[in-house]
Chains A and B, each alone.
Chain A
Amino acid sequence: MDRRTFIKISSCSAAGYCLLRDGKVLAGDDGVAPARYYEKLPYRKIKCTLCPRECVIDDLERGYCGVRENRGGTYYTLVHGNPCSAHIDPIEKKPLFHFLPGTLAFSIATVGCNVFCKFCQNWQISQARPEQVKSMKMSPEKVAKVAVERNCPSVAYTYTEPVVFTEYMYDTARACRDRNIKSVMISNGYIQKEPMKDLCTVLNAVKIDLKAFTRRFYKELVAGELKPVLDTLILLRQQNMWTEIVYLIIPGQNDDPGELEKLSKWIVEELGPDTPLHFSRFYPQYRLKNLPATPISTLETARKIALDNGLKYVYIGNVPGHAAENTYCPSCQRLLVKRTGYRIIENAIQNNRCSYCSATIAGVW
């Protein structure tokens, strides 16, 4: 990226800063790089093994995500080094509440996604193909350099679905590691084991959008499967990756108390009670404009169910000013991190411990 031509910093919102750009639709083969994780099949077909869809793709065709293309029996990513979004956000916006609180994350995304959520907030870029959206050139090294220049201790791969730009994410995370910049992946967790394991060698934290705890919801509203996401969460746990979970509650779709109870129990048993869980408020959008916003009482009920089942850090998101935006000590119940929106008002965690009772607070502080 050439700063003169398309990058400048300006105040964007209460959320932080955005990198405005004079992006353009990239021509020709910009962004094209050999893909990883696929098998060659007879007659120039390939089978992609990056995500659980395992698309089998004919010559000149693309996979479900729209950003990976078979050219003569060799598979390519079309978005390597071509982010369509680049912003500087508070890490709390991801949200990651237990990872370097109060810091900024240089946040990038390319177009594309391997699911098709009817409630997607970023559908204009997640559901697009590379040629339909303005993108910019930004090599992995350049991303790391910008993060350093802008005092961002981390780079976040976010907004769309970073699984589908795994090569770019991996190469960027490596470049960042060389400059002592951390990398966080904000993902739906719809990825196969091998690529996720490879990513674990270069990532520092992951946030997974667990969209529901039923197969029905995944089938009807996500066009995906629940089990691979749960498998990814277990894998992340095994790899000791710092992981937080967001669960967007959509009225009438995934707010059944029984479902939330099962979800909470599963997290406690499989991932441990220290896993932060964020219940997030749904607002009508994209193809679910017919549904109402989530009542706050529903979010509060969900939080109570999760706490009652043993989870220690349960948050309510998308409700600015709600008391459940804060972190409380699971031992002495005192307020530890006070937040308003994405801002940290006070932080009483010292050396990973509650400054009142010295209980260990899980996270990367």
Chain B
Amino acid sequence: MRRRAFFKSLIGATSSFGMVRHGYGGKKEALIPTSVASGAPFSRVVLATERGLSHGIRPVAEERIGNLLARSIETLFEENADTVWRRLFHPEDVVGLKVNCLAGKGLSTRLELVNAVCEALLQAGIKKHRIIIWDRADRDLERAGYSIERRKNRVQCFGTNKAGYTSRIYEHGYVGSQLSRIVTDYCSAIINLPVLKDHGIVGLSVGLKNFFGAINNPNKYHDNAGDPYVADVNMLTPIRSKTRLTICDAITPQYEGGPPYMPQWTWPMNSLLVSTDMVAMDQVGWDIVEEKRRENKFSSLAGAGREPVYINTAADAEHELGTNNSAKINVLKV
């Protein structure tokens, strides 16, 4: 998306609208990728790659990434991308784009990918001011290259430090947290935009872990490699009910040394992972990272004492957030 179009919007409205839930185990909906919608007990994860897209902190060509995103969406939903965006998001939605920016430039959701998502939403009829790019704090967003934006007629971009947290405590299992009001009050729909990376404590950070950036007390939930906390956070109703799509930035993932940016352990994968099943996506991401670690003579994440078993927990009978069973995951390579 062009910067001109990107950074102009109105003040964000705060109305909420009825949501549908998507993904594995969810109710059959027109928007659900065909395999699930047809009743087959498996999920689809698109792994879309374009050689030479970028490496390190070098910028990505926006047009190329826009095309890659469109191809991913079309593959996942087996429909024209514009149609999918229009069906996924209603013009009255306020769509929150949850990026992952804590690591700064190099290992944060790329601006160019977020621009491409904004462009797709604008094309689908969502007004600029009804798109909110957000993370925990302005400081984190700025460090990753985003500009804080709250002016009228602009796509909004700000941290929860601006919006605040709910006074209510949302609870599930071992988790009791206040949620970002961007999730509860501002947005009616969320697109999760994580980065594929190793995590020094919980093993892996992809889609599920990204929602630690939506709670007030993520520091309390890293014990036991994040299990069952990561899964429990994703069970909190506003997060679960509003998240409609996950698009993971795997352009230059990192297989060791995360979550901070350690360029020596990144590689040019030049890919996006796209799914409505966050657990399936995390499982695919886990497999990718393990393979890369093997290739580079690192121990497995289990061997390193940080197997991301929260992914298994997210798939268990209590959580049913998606499937982690590789036999039930269709990885669609584009």
Contacts and interface: CB of A to CB of B under 8 A. Distances in A.
Contact of A63 (B137, B200, B219): B219
Interface in A113-137: 116, 118, 127-129, 131-132
A128 B259 contact: no
Given A64-B220, A127-B217, A56 B171 contact: no
B126 interface: no
A59 B220 CA distance: 17
A101 interface: no
A132 B169 contact: no
A129 B176 contact: no
Interface in A61-93: 61-66
Interface residues of A, number: 24
Contact of A44 (B165, B171, B260): B260
A58 B198 CA distance: 12
B216 A132 contact: yes
A223 interface: yes
A60 interface: yes
B215 to A, nearest CB: 11
A60 B220 contact: no
A64 B219 contact: yes
A298 B223 CA distance: 34
A131 B161 contact: yes
A61 B262 contact: no
B268 interface: no
A287 interface: yes
Contact of B137 (A44, A64, A65, A131): A131
Given A65-B219, A129-B216, A223-B223, A58 B161 contact: no
B25 interface: no
Contact of A64 (B169, B222, B257, B260): B222
Interface in A21-58: 25, 43-45, 56, 58
B126 to A, nearest CB: 30
Contact of A60 (B102, B219, B257): B102
A58 B217 contact: no
A60 B259 CA distance: 9
A329 B200 CA distance: 56
Contacts of B220: 64, 66, 116, 127, 223
Contacts, number: 52
Interface in B29-78: none
B103 interface: yes
Contacts of B103: 60
Contacts of A60: 102-104, 259-260
Interface in B224-276: 257-260, 262
A76 to B, nearest CB: 14
Interface residues of B, number: 22
B222 A43 contact: no
B163 to A, nearest CB: 12
Main secondary structure of the interface of B (DSSP, over half): loop
Contacts of A131: 137, 161
Contacts of A58: 200, 258-260
Interface in B114-136: none
A270 to B, nearest CB: 29
A282 B247 CA distance: 47
B216 A128 contact: yes
B219 A43 contact: no
Interface in B77-111: 102-104
**Most B CB atoms within 10 A — which of A63, A129, A223?**
A129
B16 to A, nearest CB: 23
Nearest to B174: A223
Contacts of B219: 62-66, 129
**Most A CB atoms within 10 A — which of B104, B201, B222, B260?**
B260
B200 A45 contact: yes
Interface string B3-32: 000000000000000000000000000000
Contacts of B223: 64, 223
Contacts of A64: 219-220, 222-223
Nearest to B265: A43
A287 B176 contact: yes
Contacts of B161: 25, 131
Contacts of A61: 102, 259-260
Nearest to A68: B219
A287 B222 CA distance: 19
A286 B171 CA distance: 11
Interface string B170-211: 010000100000000000000000000000110000000000
Contacts of B176: 118, 286-287
Contacts of A62: 219
15 contacts: A43-B257, A56-B201, A59-B260, A60-B259, A61-B260, A62-B219, A63-B219, A64-B222, A127-B217, A128-B217, A132-B216, A223-B220, A223-B223, A286-B176, A287-B176
| In the A-B complex, the 6 residue pairs with the closest CB atoms | A59-B260, A66-B219, A287-B176, A58-B260, A116-B220, A58-B200
Given A58-B259, A60-B104, A129-B219, 11 more contacts: A25-B161, A56-B200, A60-B102, A61-B260, A64-B219, A64-B220, A127-B216, A128-B217, A129-B216, A131-B137, A287-B176
Interface of A: 25, 43-45, 56, 58-66, 116, 118, 127-129, 131-132, 223, 286-287
